[in-house]
Amino acid sequence: MSHGFDYDLVIIGAGVGGHGAALHAVSCGLKTAIIEAADMGGTCVNRGCIPSKALLAASGRVRELRNAHHLKSLGIQVGNVEFDRQAIANHAGNLVAKIQGDLTNSLKRLGVDIIRGWGKVAGAQKVTITTDNGEKTITAKDIILSPGSVPFVPPGIEVDGKTVFTSDQGVKLESLPNWVAIIGSGYIGLEFSDIYSALGCEITLIEALDQLMPGFDRDIAKLAERVLITPRDIETKVGIYAKKIIPGSPVVIELANFQTKEDVEVLEVDACLVATGRIPATQNLGLDSVGVELDRRNFIPVNDNMAVLSGGEVVPHLWAIGDATGKMPLAHAASAQGIVAVDNIIGRERQVDYRSIPAAAFTHPEVSYVGLTETAAKELGLTEGFEIATTKSYFKGNSKALAENESDGIAKVIYRKDTGEVLGVHIFGLHASDLIHEAAAAIANRQAVHHLANLVHAHPTLSEVLDEAYKRAIAS
Ligand SMILES: Cc1cc2nc3c(=O)[nH]c(=O)nc-3n(C[C@H](O)[C@H](O)[C@H](O)COP(=O)(O)OP(=O)(O)OC[C@H]3O[C@@H](n4cnc5c(N)ncnc54)[C@H](O)[C@@H]3O)c2cc1C
């Protein structure tokens, strides 16, 4: 291959998106190089999914072992449960090192050239790489941009990385403040509130919008609040935003009403985690050299084939994937986009089916969803001329959840009334992040509740929660 180019494919950014694209490219016979300016593995491996899940695993165990009431109900008694903050932090750090090594080795083993430095498009089918030792230009038949995202810090908030920090520093668990404010109740804020509350910190959770967990389906968010927030040492402030945050000891937080912008109160806390979303890392990528303009939120404009667009037209041989596209900022979505981009490069035309990509928050218990929320499904129904129906089933009616004595949970299925096609599934409860995949497969295949209700699930398993929801749908 290569046809007069240095490479068939050059990928800028070795996060999970770039990694997924590279592995697939090699399996399709493409001569591939990947350029990384900082840590191999990007956000997910170094500052995101991996360390946060390690902290959640350890802190979740502490929560479980300290829940004397729950253990007693199972006939178990344990003595004083202690933990070592640094050892928990080390568990996360060691896992990051292992997965970063595995990821890098998988690329090397398959013959992907890893080029360290800052990659930049330098005109059609050309990339320059800048390192401390200078600059070099390589050519590639196709280029995939996968530069990812970084934490968004709103104006007025000063981050010192010690007392006021983002998830980048939070995953290192360098301290356990007695009182920590968390700004933002999206999934990152929620996962950190799970970690900190399990490890004994007092929390104030501040959400600018008028409800907590604004990204989740309302029924799920309501129950999640009753289980994940209300009974824990977490105070909430909703409709309130942090106008100014000054690091130090104490951290000073000026709060204001999000609607009226009037000052509300000043908090003095030990530390503050800023979890107010992420912004694309799309500056200085050389896009002007090929006439591409970022959209108004600085994402790289793409179509569902992952081709980069300029003025709505496809830019030949230029592709973009991952958080930088603003489509679905999740690790597996980035990787799926990478695989689709490569398929299109080799002429196997394919689009990303975002509706069937699941998402999860790894709290205790977990939240997961796939497809549309009830509100979005209703809107789609209005434009496409169909009505929707919903059905719910509860973990408290599930034998496995009852055996575990962990029966707080709900599954909600949203489907078309006329055809029964499943449009969205939302789960809150034990192992929700694993349970969601059955629903994701059903949505990917555009299956209807009538079909799904006839599938047989092993008994007793948590998967029967979905079975029950599908059966209720056809009975109603
Ligand atoms: C705390 C936290 C927890 C998360 N948990 C989950 C989770 O449980 N599940 C999940 O699915 N997602 C999770 N995410 C989101 C997930 O991490 C991202 O969606 C994913 O990392 C995006 O992958 P990417 O390849 O688009 O970008 P990134 O992982 O951000 O990688 C981009 C890479 O490109 C490099 N780069 C950028 N520009 C250049 C350039 N010009 N030249 C060379 N290199 C460049 C960067 O250094 C970086 O390494 C979490 C995120 C955070 C912050």
pLDDT tens across 454-463, in order?
999 999 999 9
Q: Is 184 in the pocket of ligand 1 (CB under 6 A)?
A: no
Distance from residue 243's CA to the centre of ligand 1 (Å) = 28
Indicate which residue of 91, 426, 437, 459 is catalytic. 459
141: alpha, beta or left, given left = phi > 0 and alpha = psi -120 to 50? alpha
Q: Where are any strands of DSSP class E within 30-154?
A: 32-36, 113-116, 118-121, 126-131, 134-145, 149-151
Q: What is the 49 CA–ligand 1 centroid distance (Å)?
A: 9
Q: According to the model, what pLDDT value does residue 391 have?
A: 98
- Tokens standing for 259? 């609607």
Assign 347 a pLDDT band (cuts: 50, 70, 90): very high
- At 174-225, the pLDDT tens digits run 999 999 999 999 999 999 999 999 999 999 999 999 999 988 999 999 999 9
For ligand 1, atom 30, the nearest C-alpha belongs to 148
Q: From the CA of 354, how far away is ligand 1's center (Å)?
A: 18
- State whether the beta carbon of 145 lies less than 6 angstroms from ligand 1: no
Active site residue 3: no
CB 357 within 8 A of CB 339: no
User: What residues contact 278, with CB distance under 8 A and at least 6 apart?
Assistant: 149, 150, 151, 152, 323, 329
Q: Residue type for 176, please?
A: L
Give the predicted TM-score (pTM) of the model.
Answer: 0.97
Q: Give the model's confidence band at 278: pLDDT under 50 very low, under 70 low, under 90 confident, else very high.
A: very high
> What is the overall mean pLDDT for the chain?
97
- CA–CA separation, 152 and 166 (whole Å): 9
CA angle 201-56-246, nearest 5°? 45
Burial (0-12, 13-18, 19+ Cβ within 10 Å), 108: exposed
Determine whether the shortest distance from the Cβ of 43 to ligand 1 is under 6 A. yes
Res. 448: pLDDT tops 70: yes
Q: Is 16 in the pocket of ligand 1 (CB under 6 A)?
A: yes
Q: Ligand 1 centroid to 467 CA: how many Å?
A: 35
Question: pLDDT tens-digit profile of 34-55?
Answer: 999 999 999 999 999 999 999 9
Distance CA 130, CA 48 (A): 26
In angstroms, what is the span from residue 99 Cα to ligand 1's centroid? 14
CA-closest residue to ligand 1 atom 15: 330
313 phi and psi angles, rounded to 5 deg: -100, 145
- DSSP, residue by residue, 104-131: HHHHHHTTPEEEESEEEE-STTEEEEEE
State yes or no: pLDDT of 3 exceeds 80. no
Instruction: Summarize the chain as % helix, strand, coil (round to 5).
Output: 35, 30, 35
CA–CA distance, 141 with 398 (Å, rounded to integer): 54
Distance CA 210, CA 188 (A): 18
**pLDDT bucket at 2, cuts 50 / 70 / 90:** low
What secondary structure letter does DSSP report for 315? Answer: E
Domains and CATH numbers, the chain: 7-47+90-150+279-352 (3.50.50.60), 153-276 (3.50.50.60), 356-475 (3.30.390.30)
- Give CA separation, 74 vs 58, 366, 395, 407, 431, in Å: 21, 21, 18, 13, 19
pLDDT average, residue stretch 392-417:
97
pLDDT value, residue 1: 56
State pLDDT tens for residues 355-391: 999 999 999 999 999 999 999 999 999 999 999 999 9
Is the beta carbon of 285 within 6 A of some atom in ligand 1?
Answer: yes
Amino acid of residue 332 = H
Q: What is the pLDDT of residues 53-93, one digit of tens each?
A: 999 999 999 999 999 999 999 999 999 999 999 999 999 99
Residue 280, CA distances (Å) to 48, 79, 335 in order = 15, 47, 16
Q: What is the pLDDT of residues 229-243, one digit of tens each?
A: 999 999 999 999 999
- Unique residue bearing structure tokens 């694309």: 280
Determine the Cα–Cα distance for residues 51 and 335; give it in Å rounded to an integer.
19
Q: Is the model's pLDDT at 336 over the cut of 90? A: yes
Q: What atom in ligand 1 is closest to the CA of residue 335?
A: 25
Cβ(246) to ligand 1 under 6 A?
A: no
Mean pLDDT of 102-106: 98
The model's pLDDT over 107-156, given as tens digits with 9 standing for 90+, comes to: 999 999 999 999 999 999 999 999 989 999 999 999 999 999 999 999 99
The percentage of residues in the chain with a pLDDT greater than 70, rounded to a whole number, is 100
Tell me 445's DSSP state: T
First to last CA, the chain: 58
Q: Which of 182, 160, 223, 192 is nearest to 367 (CA)?
A: 223
| pLDDT of the residue at 200 | 97
Query: Would you put residue 215 in left (φ > 0), alpha (ψ -120 to 50) or beta?
Result: alpha
- Cis peptide preceding 460, ω within 30 of 0: yes
Handedness of CA 113, 114, 116, 117 (dihedral sign): positive
Distance (Å, whole) CA 476 – CA 473: 5
Q: Please, which pLDDT band fits residue 476 given cuts at 50, 70 and 90?
A: confident
Residue keyed to tokens 């996060």: 15
